[in-house]
Amino acid sequence: MDIPNPADGLLRTRVDGALSGLLVADFSRVLAGPYATMLLADLGATVVKVERPGDGDDTRSWGPPHADGEATYFLAVNRNKRSIALDLRDPDDLDLARGLAARADVLVENFRPGTMDRLGLGHKQARELNPGLVYCSITGFGAGKGAGLPGYDLIAQAMGGLMSVTGDGSTKAGVALVDVVTGLHAALGVLAALRHRDRTGEGQLVEVSLLGSLLSALTNQASAYVAAGVVPRAMGNRHPSIVPYEVFGTADRPMVIAAGNDRQFRILCAVLERPDLADDARFAANAGRVAGREALVTELSKALARRTADEWFALLTEAGVPCGPINDLAAAFELSADLGLSPAVEVDGVGQVANPIRLGVTPPSYRLPPPQLGGDDAWVREILGR
């Protein structure tokens, strides 16, 4: 198919970002894929989100809460995108989707394995249309034996071992972290593939899975098993290899203390007016503190009960001991703002969490609010010459 190349100006951002001029065909929905494509969009890429007519992305209906009638879940990961509603079972809409794949620099999809192949939009088919295409496929458990397993974050947290080391051993994380980590891996893989394409002109297939991304993100816990055959267990808020590194009560509310080395432990004991604990041969080194965790934590808890969390935070932070109160999200955003990190932005009146990446020359930009379903049909047809 001969796809006309429209004026580059249609794909440029108002402020040129690092990825300005790149066109991303986003066939993903829910979280991992949309998070990855939003990151690319924030960095300047033009992202066209393909949604099914009528309902659109599943997360458009995942509420409450809502903001001005829109589900905040959808708003979280879909800014800086254009939306076109296509029924991929309709020959004309499918032809337009194939035209988008032929024109795009990057295609991201997270359908069940085999779905895009059946539609004529699989990697091999898209590569015939567009040899330079970077094709990113996101699955739950891979495209082999795990192809039939549902790619939901909760399932991945359970089957991938995260829940076994969280809380009491049956507790999920309070946010879909596996989806988020997978989205980060997907975006990184896309950027690596684009770098290869810059040098060679050759596109390639990028594959990431929820399970693979989770096992990588489990870092030290996964390494304990792979390198030493140790199967970690749930320890609540405690760390398997560092003490004290957990939640402690105070005179008013809980806080965390993360004394990561012997020097910090000695300072902690001095501030708590318990230097005897640092001098105790049982606790002088971290290995001993891990072995004697219960006895040590009991003594530290007694000392911490004498002051409030804010008082200890001030005293310990000044002394150089890592610690902090347990904030809710309102307090967390207030802290970030106080520290000058600018955690939130408004895009055409829509509140958004800011992209955390800081770039000195080509910073993230906020050009478009999350799109209305199918709201950019005419614009997409224009860039495709339709």
* pLDDT tens digits, 170-197: 999 999 999 999 999 999 999 999 999 9
Q: Which long-range contacts (CB under 8 A, 24 or more apart) does 191-198 make?
A: 193/134, 193/136, 194/22, 194/105, 194/106, 194/134, 197/105, 197/132, 197/134
Contact 170, 239 (CB under 8 A): no
Same domain, 183 and 282: no
**Reported confidence tier of residue 16, pLDDT bands at 50, 70, 90:** confident
The predicted pLDDT at position 386 comes to: 82
113 and 204: one domain? yes
Q: Round the average pLDDT of the chain to a whole number and report it.
A: 94
Specify whether 284 is located in the same domain as 159: no
* Domain annotation covers residue 128: yes
- Tell me the C-alpha distance between 204 and 28, whole Å: 18
Asked whether residue 31 falls in the same domain as residue 88, the answer is: yes
310 within domain boundaries: yes
Q: What is the mean pLDDT of residues 300-310?
A: 96
240-278 per-position pLDDT tens digit: 999 999 999 999 999 999 999 999 999 999 999 999 999
Least confident among 5-14, 124-133, 245-254: 5-14
Q: Does 128 lie in the same domain as 39?
A: yes
Percent of the chain at pLDDT > 70 equals: 96
Same domain? For 172 and 45 the reply is yes
Catalytic residue chosen out of the listed positions 2, 179, 198, 262: 179
What is the per-residue pLDDT for 105?
A: 98
DSSP letter at 59 equals G
In a domain, 234, yes or no: no
The 3-class SS string of the chain reads CCCCCCCHHHHCCCCCCCCCCCEEEEECCCCHHHHHHHHHHHCCCEEEEEECCCCCCHHHHCCCCEECCEEHHHHHCCCCEEEEECCCCCHHHHHHHHHHHHHCCEEEECCCCCHHHHCCCCHHHHHHHCCCCEEEEEECCCCCHHHHCCCCHHHHHHHCCCHHHCCCCCCCCCCCHHHHHHHHHHHHHHHHHHHHHHHHCCCEEEEEEHHHHHHHHCHHHHHHHHHHCCCCCCCCCCCCCCCCEEEECCCCCCEEEECCCHHHHHHHHHHCCCHHHHHCCCCCCHHHHHHCHHHHHHHHHHHHCCCCHHHHHHHHHHHCCCEEECCCHHHHHHHHHHCCCCCEEEECCEEEECCCCCCCCCCCCCCCCCCCCCCCHHHHHHHCCC
What six digits make up the tokens of 325? 């109160």
What's the pLDDT at 42?
98
Residue span of the structural domain in which 120 resides: 8-217+347-383
Partner residues linked to 27 by β-bridges: 109
- Same domain membership, residue 196 and residue 261: no
- Structure confidence at residue 2 (pLDDT): 34
Which residues fall within 8 angstroms of residue 378, CB to CB, at 6 or more apart?
Answer: none
Instruction: Name the residue with tokens 């989205």.
Output: 183
The domain that holds 320 is classified in CATH as 3.30.1540.10
Q: What is the pLDDT of residue 215?
A: 98
Specify if 249 maps to a domain: no
- What value does the mean pLDDT take over residues 228-244? 94
Residue 341 maps to a domain: no
Residue 106 lies in a domain: yes
Q: Which of 276, 295, 325 is the last residue of a domain?
A: 325
Number of domains, the chain: 2
What pLDDT sits at residue 5? 40
Share of the chain above pLDDT 90, in %: 95
Q: How far apart are CA 211 and CA 158, in angstroms?
A: 10
268 and 168 share one domain: no
Tell me the helices (H) and strands (E) count for the chain, helix number first: 16, 13
> Could you tell me if 194 and 290 lie in one domain?
no
Would the pLDDT of 4 be above 60? Answer: no
**Which token pair is 93?**
């809409």
Report the CATH number that the domain containing residue 362 is assigned in CATH.
Answer: 3.40.50.10540
pLDDT tens digit string along 54-90?
999 999 999 999 999 999 999 999 999 999 999 999 9
Structural domain contains residue 231: no
Question: Based on the domain organization, do 277 and 201 belong to the same domain?
Answer: no
Which residues have C-beta within 8 Å of that of residue 353, sequence separation ≥ 6?
76, 343, 344
Residue 245 included in any domain: no
pLDDT digits (tens, 9 = 90+) for 334-357: 999 999 999 999 999 999 999 999
Determine the average pLDDT of the residues in 204-229: 97
Q: Compute the average pLDDT of residues 310-333.
A: 96
Q: Has 179 been annotated as catalytic?
A: yes
> Are residues 171 and 38 part of one domain?
yes
Q: Which residue pairs, CB below 8 angstroms and at least 24 apart, start in 141-150?
A: 141/209, 141/210, 141/211, 142/113, 142/207, 142/209, 142/211, 142/212, 143/113, 143/114, 143/207, 146/209, 146/211, 147/112, 147/113, 147/114, 148/112
One domain, residues 316 and 359: no
Task: Answer for the pair 30, 110: CB distance below 8 angstroms, yes or no.
Answer: yes
